[in-house]
């Protein structure tokens, strides 16, 4: 069916987590870039052919399209050591993936997006009103991670799993959104640990 | 290890989806209720012993605690027909679970919560400012579901999977949040189809 294609915006952490997963499992990806600020994922053709939800990343497997970053990362990791074999540990790993999309990404990633790509001066009134709450929720997410990592080296097992890859993606660029990581020493040690894994690639690779 | 315990607030769709999954796989659950409006999931004991994230539902398996509704539902469904055996279909099912937590629940569930439990008069200024955008995003989620269901009977396979259970939970009570389901005939037909499945239980059961 040809190479797997990642429809992406390369600087998005949601896209990077898929490339990082692919690197760890040794799966080459073809890449197709969209300018999200120019609305290239909201065109009629994109909505019809790639993702009716108008978002990247989307993983394309032949004629099949798989939206949602953590589902795409799961697809690539399925059958590898990145997904725990034990039933509870597998569900516990998924717990962190859902937590990332509910408590981490809408705060840490959105604040980074608003501040670095949209620009604070260009925010809508509603976005500006939401900013303090999103910053506070992002700080709470980092604090929860730090407390969890104070008792273990990785999120679920004593080695890298998909939970670490998914959480690494936006945490390692949180400072671009103005989040100060200095109060979170366990997070910083874990970031270094993840980056030192064999097979690691950078968001700019 | 004794019975599996669901720490919950029974009228929450996130808690109901776990009970509905348990009913379909024939797993009895013990239930422990918390008054979320009285802050019972934010006490020091709850944060320390049940979930550092201060939220229900949490599934307790002996000494292990599993937060995040879709991870808990996955745990119960793991090994059953509710999770597709095919690799792509399994990831595609997870796609809908992540979409539910990112695009559906923060809009449809939050608006229902604000309007029926908190009360519009009691919303904070920020919540009130967010309400129109959340209503619009909830409508968009229902429209996306309706278009998808126009071409198939269930979300992923030609039979019930965990994706249907998870999406049913808040969709079937969307009208409590003021969402009008009349413009979404495929969603309404699918709701009836899910409710007619053997093993179905109601949110009030």
Contacts A156 to B, Cβ<8 Å: none
* B132 and B179 together in one domain: yes
Residue A104 shares a structural domain with residue A179: yes
Q: What is the CATH number of the domain that holds A25?
A: 3.40.30.10
* Residue B72: inside a domain: yes
Question: What is the interface size between A and B, counted as CB pairs within 8 Å?
Answer: 103
- Do residues B132 and B176 share a domain? yes
The verdict on a CB contact (< 8 Å) between B94 and A68 is yes
For the record, the structure tokens of B179 come out as 């969402």
How many domains is chain B built from? 2
Residue A35 lies in a domain: yes
Domain assignment present for A205:
no
Whether A54 and A150 share a structural domain: no
Cβ pair A71:B126 closer than 8 A? no
Q: Which of B53, B75, B105 sits opposite A99 (nearest CB)?
A: B53
Complex-level ipTM beyond the 0.95 threshold: yes
Q: Does A91 sit within 8 Å of B75, measured CB to CB?
A: yes
Name which of B87, B88, B99 is nearest A68 (Cβ-Cβ). Answer: B99
Identify whether B82 is part of a domain.
Answer: no
In a domain, A9, yes or no: yes
Residue A68 and residue B133: Cβ atoms within 8 Å?
no
Q: Which residue has the tokens 């989620």?
A: B141
Interatomic CA distance for residues B56 and B69, integer angstroms: 8
- Residues B98, B159 share a domain: yes
Q: Which residues pair with B59 in a beta bridge?
A: B6, B66
In the block, residue with structure tokens 């874990």: A190
Check whether residue A94 and residue A73 sit in a common domain: no
Strand arrangement of the beta sheet that strand A29-33 belongs to: A29-33, A4-8, A58-61, A64-67
Q: Based on the domain organization, do B112 and B59 belong to the same domain?
A: no
Residue pair B34/B11 in contact (Cβ under 8 Å)? The answer is no
CATH code: domain of residue A140: 1.20.1050.10
| A57 and A138 co-located in one domain | no
> Do B53 and B138 sit in the same domain of this protein?
no
Positive/negative CA dihedral, A31, A36, A38, A39: positive
So what's the pLDDT on residue A33?
Answer: 97
Closest CA to A149 of A99, A110, A193: A193
> What's residue A133's pLDDT?
96
Q: Which domain holds residue A112?
A: 87-195
Which of A43, A77, A111 is where one domain is finished?
A77
Within 8 A of A88 by CB-CB distance, chain B residues are 61, 64, 66, 75
Contact B70, A71 (CB under 8 A): no
Q: Which residue is it, tokens 């009913």?
A: B23
pLDDT class for B107, splitting at 50, 70, 90? very high
> Is B88 close to A101, i.e. CB distance below 8 A?
no
Range A49-55, long-range pairs (CB < 8 A, 24+ positions): A50/A7, A51/A7, A52/B144, A52/B147, A52/B148, A53/B99, A53/B103, A53/B144
* Candidate from B64, B69, B88 with C-beta closest to A75: B88
Cα angle A92-A95-A97, degrees, rounded to a multiple of 5 = 120
Residue B125 belongs to some domain of the structure: yes
Write down the pLDDT at residue B140. 98
In a domain, B203, yes or no: no
Per residue in B68-103, pLDDT tens? 999 999 999 999 999 999 999 999 999 999 999 999
On whether residue A204 sits in a domain, the answer given is no
Per-residue pLDDT, A1: 67
Q: Is B88 left (phi over 0), alpha (psi -120 to 50) or beta?
A: alpha
Q: Tell me if A52 and B148 make a contact (CB, 8 A cut-off).
A: yes
Nearest to B78 among A70, A91, A129 (CB): A91
Q: Can you tell me which residue has the tokens 């720490």?
A: B7
Per-residue pLDDT of chain A (205 residues; tens, 9 = 90+): 689 999 999 999 999 999 999 999 999 999 999 999 899 999 999 999 999 999 999 999 999 999 999 999 999 999 999 999 999 999 999 999 999 999 999 999 999 999 999 999 999 999 999 999 999 999 999 999 999 999 999 999 999 999 999 999 999 999 999 999 999 999 999 999 999 999 999 999 9
> Which residue is it, tokens 């670490």?
A164
Residues B95 and B40 reside in one and the same domain: no
CA distance B197 to chain A (A): 25
Chain A residue set in contact with B, beta carbons under 8 Å: 52-53, 61, 64, 66-72, 74-75, 78-79, 87-88, 90-92, 94-95, 97-99, 101-103, 105-106, 126, 129-130, 133, 144, 147-148
Query: Do A113 and A164 fall into the same domain?
Result: yes
Given A34, A55, A77, the domain boundary residue is A77
pLDDT of residue B1: 67
pLDDT in tens, B36-48: 989 999 999 999 9
Last residue in a domain, options A77, A112, A135: A77
- In A, which residues are within 8 Å of B97 by CB distance? 71, 98
Same domain (yes/no): A103, A191: yes
């Amino acid at each position: 069916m040809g190479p797997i294609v990642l429809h992406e915006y390369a600087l998005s952490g949601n896209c990077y987590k898929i490339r990082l997963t692919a690197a760890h499992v040794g799966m080459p990806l073809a890449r197709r870039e969209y300018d999200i600020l120019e609305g290239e994922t909201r065109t009629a053709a994109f909505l019809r052919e790639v993702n009716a939800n108008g978002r990247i990343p989307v993983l394309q497997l032949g004629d099949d399209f798989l939206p949602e970053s953590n589902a795409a990362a799961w697809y690539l990791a399925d059958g590898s050591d990145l997904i725990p074999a034990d039933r509870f540990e597998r569900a516990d790993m998924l717990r962190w993936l859902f937590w990332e999309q509910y408590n981490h990404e809408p705060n840490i990633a959105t604040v980074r997006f608003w501040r670095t790509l949209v620009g604070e001066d260009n925010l809508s009134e509603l976005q500006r009103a939401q900013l303090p709450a999103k910053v506070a929720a992002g700080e709470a997410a980092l604090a929860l991670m730090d407390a969890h990592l104070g008792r273990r080296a990785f999120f679920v097992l004593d080695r890298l799993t998909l939970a670490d890859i998914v959480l690494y993606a936006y945490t390692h660029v949180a400072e671009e959104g103005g989040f100060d990581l200095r109060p979170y020493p366990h997070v910083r040690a874990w970031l270094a640990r993840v980056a030192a894994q064999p097979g690691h690639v950078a968001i700019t690779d």
